[in-house]
Amino acid sequence: MSRSLLLGLLLIFLLIGGLVTLNAFWLELAIPLAVYLLAGFLLAPEKVALTVERQISPERAIPGEAVTITLRITNEGANLPQVGLRDPLPGFAELVDGSFTRLLSLRHGESLAWQYTLRGKRGYHLFPGLEVSASDPFGMVNLRQVAPTGGQLLVLPNVPRVRRLVIRPRVTRVYAGNIPARQGGAGVEFFGLNEYQPGVPMHAVNWHVSARHQEALFINEYEQERVADVGLILDARQRANHLGNGKSIFEHSVLATASMSDAFLNNGNRVGLLIYGLYINWTNPGYGKRQRENILYALARANTAESQVFSGMYIPRRLFPPKSQIVFISPLMPDDVEPLVALRAHDYPIIVISPNVVRYEASLLPDQAPFRQAARILALERYITIQRLRHAGVQVIDWDVTRPFEQTVESLLSRPPAFIRAIGAGSR
């Protein structure tokens, strides 16, 4: 109930009571209340007309970096005897310095410069406006509005730098890159021999082989190196990422995705990103720095959610070019095996990067026998899931998140997987 209504009702009660009992004291008791109500009424602000400008420095930050918000407020309306200002903070940020609320009086034409500093984790925030509540000193009349201000804050995820990544997709694009294309031509790695064609430079002639064949000259061919299509899939399903006590492993998945996209783009590949959460958020494939920005922007906004449409994992195959490299970043659930194997059956080379959720959660729990036992059972279940994927020809990186991501990935992805080396595909 509003204060003015309560006071009004009490006044009416006293007036009626005085009339009914014919007791003048009731009316005299009402006088202080009436004076208080009238004082509030007389000092009430007429209307609120504030203009607000917002400056955010920097607008794009990295996690933990201090961001200064400056607000310039000008009162273009009547005097405001008491005005409360509140600038709602982004959910992912915390206040470092200053205050995000103010209570002050503003005269007509008066300006105020207000500054505060915050620091945030990964996230994106569009500032909706400044919440203004102007009232008289006694809170009888309270005018509320939201003064529109522009501004957005983007805290990009950390991007650990992975120097070398080796992938062997079966299909590459036409542009030169550093992925062996399984085709002879210009390159550095020996690919095979071919009969001499007019116009080929003489230093390409393999004289040892040509000496053994009188009828023809043979030339060395090298393996072409090209760029490839890479599709990154980030698993943002709530049930896969959320642990007990409000903890989540999702930030590690985001970090891994950012790092992998950066590495692939630095090698000149065409990279697209699919975030699988409440809905399918698709960033169209692209090259270079612009695409890096697009992907980081999408990752900054990524949040976990449960899809209302698909009960399990559904990977829309048409988004990825046939036989292109797929990188799936997920804590992995046992029922993810089937869609991944189905994708593998369509000749997509797949790398699964899986932050080890069992080890991570176990590290957060007390070192007690029941927890150890539960962790062991879950670790076995996870091991079986990973083994099923490996048997289907999926390359799985089981990432212990206590180790730096770049170390883990460089040690496992800096050379072709064992089965590719064994069959010699892609290298020789």
Partner 1 sequence: MARWLVYLLFGLGYAMLALGWALVLIWPFSLGLLCLAGLGLFAVKKKFHQALDLGFALGVMAAATGISLEMPFPYALGAVLSLLAAWDIDHFSRRLTLAASQDDPRAMLGRHLGQLGLVLLVGLAASLIVLEIRFQFNFELAIGLVLLVFASLAALINWLRKTER
Among 60, 72, 86, 242, binds partner 1 (CB under 8 A): 86
Question: Going by C-beta distance under 8 Å and a sequence separation of 6 or more, which residues neighbour residue 151?
Answer: 54, 55, 56, 59, 69, 126, 127
Decide if 73 contacts 52 (C-beta within 8 A). yes
Residue 289: CB minimum distance to partner 1, A: 41
Residue 65: CB minimum distance to partner 1, A: 23
Residue closer to partner 1 (CB basis): 130 or 263 = 130
Among 3, 121, 323, 359, binds partner 1 (CB under 8 A): 3
Among 108, 144, 290, 346, binds partner 1 (CB under 8 A): 144
Decide if 235 contacts 194 (C-beta within 8 A). no
Decide if 301 contacts 236 (C-beta within 8 A). no
Among 51, 117, 142, 281, binds partner 1 (CB under 8 A): 142
Distance CA 143, CA 45 (A): 8
**Pairing of β 280-286 and β 325-329:** unpaired
15 in contact with partner 1 (CB under 8 A): yes
Residue closer to partner 1 (CB basis): 37 or 329 = 37
Residue closer to partner 1 (CB basis): 44 or 233 = 44
Window contacting partner 1 (CB under 8 A); options: 34-42, 209-217, 238-246, 354-362: 34-42
Question: Going by C-beta distance under 8 Å and a sequence separation of 6 or more, which residues neighbour residue 252?
Answer: 355, 360, 399, 401, 405
Distance CA 320, CA 208 (A): 45
Residue closer to partner 1 (CB basis): 44 or 275 = 44
State the sign of the Cα–Cα–Cα–Cα dihedral 175, 179, 185, 186: positive
4 in contact with partner 1 (CB under 8 A): yes
Residue 303: CB minimum distance to partner 1, A: 30
Of 138, 154, 223, 143, nearest to 185 (Cα)? Answer: 223
Residue 69: CB minimum distance to partner 1, A: 13
- In 3-state terms, what secondary structure has residue 126? strand
78 in contact with partner 1 (CB under 8 A): no
Query: DSSP labels for 38-55?
Result: HHHHHT------EEEEEE
| Residues 98-137 contacting partner 1, CB under 8 A | 98-99, 101-104, 135, 137
> What are the distances in angstroms from CA 135 to CA 71, 103, 141, 196, 367?
21, 11, 5, 91, 55
333 in contact with partner 1 (CB under 8 A): no
143 in contact with partner 1 (CB under 8 A): yes
Residue closer to partner 1 (CB basis): 130 or 274 = 130
Interaction site with partner 1 (CB under 8 A): 1-6, 8-15, 17, 19, 21, 23-29, 31-37, 39, 41, 44, 82, 84-86, 98-99, 101-104, 135, 137-144
